[in-house]
Chain A
Amino acid sequence: MTRLTEWFSAGRSSGKHTLPFVVILLVVSLLASGANLLLPEDSALYVSTYTITLLGKYLCYAMLALAVDIIWGYCGILSLGHGAFFALGGYAMGMYLMRQIGDRGVYGDPLLPDFMVFLDWKELPWFWLGMDNFGFAMLMAVVVPGLLAFVFGWLAFRSRVTGVYLSIMTQALTYALLLAFFRNEMGFGGNNGLTDFKEILGFDLQADSTRVSLFMITAFLLAVLFVVSQRILSSRFGKVVLAIRDAEARSRFIGYRTDRYKVWLFVYSAVIAGIAGALYVPQVGIINPGEFSPINSIEMVIWVAVGGRGTLIGAVIGAILVNYAKTRFTAILPDAWLFALGAMFVLVTLYLPKGLMGLYAQMMAKRRPRILEESAVKESATKESEV
């Protein structure tokens, strides 16, 4: 636990990165979008649609990493099941997109998606009702993950399930959902999931302009959520959350209902994950139970660790970097990319315990030794308080 608090020092400084981060994010996405839509394909500066969808995917992952960082970096809750919230949000969006296909499915059934015709279903299951309405579907994309997080968090935090136990329980949660969604009887398309989407709100999903818009919306929402999260975490509420992370028992003794703080933070994080999922699905074009796989959830945690947890910006950078590396490695070293990825995880945990942001802070500190002194004082103070 002592090391946990060291990361705090990095966390402090992230506030001042907010503005530059948001500006860079928005400018880069605007430029990329413009380069895709306005420049001719043979131009040197042209950004291909492939790159746009790839960037869009990275940003969705960044949003997801943000969600993980909020509870892990700031409240010490290591969730190994955030993929579940992400996938639930994705399924809500997938169901909406599926209903939009209408009678253009291969069997031409006006109401039922192809896989239901295929399984001889006669009518739409109740949970598919209303999903043809975009507003309602988007509401579900945040309500369902939020509700699940609330129920799970309420049960777990009230009975003070903490640390490793909690992590394993979240893993069990996503694993159970994985198995459930694999079942064809569930009515979510089984292993094949939902795919072959045609359009969103009447816009053709395969058109470049739709893709760019989705990408821009993702970038914009990421910026908004980033700022909102930063605000929440530096508010009074955020201070209590930090206190809970560093000394839960003490915070409780002082009189804070720590379980309530944890539940609401958990719900907030799950909602962000749900939004990320909902944005992810139209951009990659498929949602299936594989997203619930526990391995995926572990990977999310690793993005945050690589970037540096408790810094928000680190989570975003980590998610983008790791996924970029993955994309490149799978193309360059298809047979050996797992070596590279695995080695990266080991090396980062061993040599960069505070992630890339920690490394950055350290380099800054070397330039200005005064800050180092400060953080050293802080460190020893917190260490003392931990024992």
Chain B
Amino acid sequence: MKIKTLVSAIALSGATLIALPSMAADTIKVGVLHSLSGTMAISETTLKDTVLMMVEEQNKKGGLLGKKLEAVVVDPASNWPLFAEKGRELLTQEKVDVIFGSWTSVSRKSVLPVLEELNGLMFYPVQYEGEESSKNVFYTGAAPNQQAIPAVDYLMNDLGVERFVLAGTDYVYPRTTNKILEAYLKAKGVAAQDIMINYTPFGHSDWQSIVSDVKKFGGEGKKTAVVSTINGDANVPFYKELGNQGISAEDIPVVAFSVGEEELSGLDTTPLVGHLAAWNYFQSVESDANDEFITQWKAFTKDSNRVTNDPMEATYIGFKMWANAVTDAGTTDVDAVEQAMIGQETENLTGGIAVMNKNHHLSKPVLIGEIQDDGQFEVVWETDGVVAGDAWSDFLPGSKDLISDWTAPIKCGNYNTKTKACSGQNY
């Protein structure tokens, strides 16, 4: 008896599964490729909601080109090959006009060949290591020169830091950022023995030894700071350990590139007051656009305690620019939108204007904030104007001659200015 019901249940669900997704009439489809389960769900779910909110808002304004927008959400489940597969599904099955997605570098690298093969369009909203520029991707997060370098400048010039601990999770973003920083610091006259580099695995939870090493390293007379590229989940135990071992921000400040309001909402920040983060956006920045955005977000999530963060702003800017580019181009055709994107200007939530450059990276202001006891950041320093994102770092030997320019006549993501050649393109 049990088996019979089970069989019929399976058969029923099978029938619904096989049924094709209904083809909606004339809409512009916006694909959302963010993990909703697995390890990255913690960060990416927020961005999925941000895109949904933006779509809803755009529809209230009447959509685009006289059509409604329709969001197509899929779950790549923090599984990197699945990003490629789901990307292909979005582009060929759902026929979306644009994709907002990815968080980790590996997920972007996974979906990239698919985007280039099928000529899709993706907006990548997270700060990343640079060293990439694809025709089919717009990078609205920060490149290393929009986050790491200004932060280190601040440490050296304003706080008088002479020794640096570069601590990161062992993957490509920290590796690259630390390499760039190491070269930069050495160029600024910091001796090799004043730089300590440390890598830990993902989700590292036992920080006792490392924090105690940092404490020793910092106790040797010179003013020391930690430059942290520690990823997501590992941050909470790291900061807890810092607090418990009594390392205060005045003694050894930690400046983080992957810790934002959302990461802080998972911990009690009282012992962390004064530690720093470098971003292009902080929720605490006062501006009308930001107030409106925060109110809208809280209403959308129906949670008055929800925070906003930098990748959300990057998604916001990306979405606005895309919408404008579609309006300008009068079509959602990828090539037309891609060209219309370059030079697009949108107001930042923190004031000022973000500009999309020829290398598919944004010009944005850089802010440095100190953690407050309410889990927010207080801006203590910001760049005078905007900083243009640099796809290829000037501090790495392999890439200092490379530039990216997607306008005619170069039209190339990695153009070598010395050999005047363009390498590694798929088309």
Contact = CB atoms under 8 A, between A and B. Distances in A.
Contact of A117 (B80, B201, B398): B398
A191 B36 contact: no
24 contacts: A50-B92, A50-B93, A53-B85, A54-B85, A103-B423, A106-B132, A114-B424, A118-B175, A120-B397, A184-B172, A184-B175, A190-B172, A191-B104, A191-B171, A191-B172, A193-B80, A206-B113, A286-B109, A330-B82, A330-B86, A332-B17, A334-B74, A334-B75, A335-B36
B6 interface: yes
Majority secondary structure, A binding face: helix
A309 interface: no
Interface in B107-129: 109-110, 112-114, 117
Contacts of A108: 416, 421, 423-424
Interface in B164-219: 170-172, 175-176, 179, 199, 201-202
Interface in A133-180: 179
Contacts of B296: none
Contacts of B74: 330-331, 334
Interface of B: 2-3, 6-7, 17, 21, 36-37, 73-77, 79-82, 84-86, 88-89, 92-93, 104-106, 109-110, 112-114, 117, 131-132, 170-172, 175-176, 179, 199, 201-202, 396-399, 402, 413-414, 416, 421, 423-424, 426
Interface in A305-330: 324-325, 327-328, 330
Nearest to B17: A328
A285 interface: yes
B424 A105 contact: yes
Interface string A2-23: 0000000000000000000000
A227 interface: no
B179 to A, nearest CB: 7
A194 to B, nearest CB: 10
B175 A119 contact: yes
A96 interface: no
B84 A107 contact: no
A334 B105 contact: no
Contact of B92 (A49, A105, A324): A49
A182 B2 contact: no
A347 interface: yes
A49 B114 CA distance: 12
Interface of A: 48-50, 53-54, 57, 103-109, 114-115, 117-120, 179, 182-184, 190-193, 195-198, 206, 284-286, 288, 290, 324-325, 327-328, 330-332, 334-335, 337-338, 347, 351-352, 359, 362
Contacts of A334: 36, 73-75
A193 B170 contact: no
A286 B84 CA distance: 8
Nearest to B45: A335
Contacts of A109: 398
A48 B73 contact: no
A294 B31 CA distance: 31
Contacts of B175: 118-119, 184, 190
A117 B176 CA distance: 11
B172 A53 contact: no
Contacts of B80: 193, 286, 288, 290
A359 B113 contact: no
Nearest to A197: B113
B89 A331 contact: yes
A191 B170 contact: yes
Contact of B84 (A114, A198, A284, A359): A284
Nearest to B399: A107
A295 to B, nearest CB: 9
Contacts of A327: 85
A331 B88 CA distance: 13
Contacts of B105: 191-192
A53 B85 CA distance: 8
A284 B79 CA distance: 12
A130 to B, nearest CB: 24
A355 to B, nearest CB: 12
A196 B89 CA distance: 18
Nearest to B133: A106
Contact of A191 (B2, B76, B132, B202): B202
A192 B36 CA distance: 20
Nearest to A331: B74
A385 to B, nearest CB: 28
Contacts of A351: 2-3, 6
A196 B176 CA distance: 19
A230 to B, nearest CB: 27
B45 to A, nearest CB: 9
A115 B117 CA distance: 22
A50 B7 contact: no
Contacts of A114: 424
A106 B110 contact: no
A104 B110 contact: no
B255 to A, nearest CB: 23
B399 to A, nearest CB: 7
Nearest to A109: B398
A193 B397 CA distance: 22
B137 to A, nearest CB: 13
Residue of A48, A109, A191 contacting most chain B CB atoms (<10 Å): A191
B113 A190 contact: no
A364 to B, nearest CB: 14
A120 B109 CA distance: 20
Contacts of B402: 106-107
Given A107-B414, A324-B17, A332-B17, 6 more contacts: A49-B92, A105-B423, A290-B81, A330-B77, A331-B74, A359-B3
Contacts of A359: 3, 7
Contact of A338 (B2, B37, B397): B37
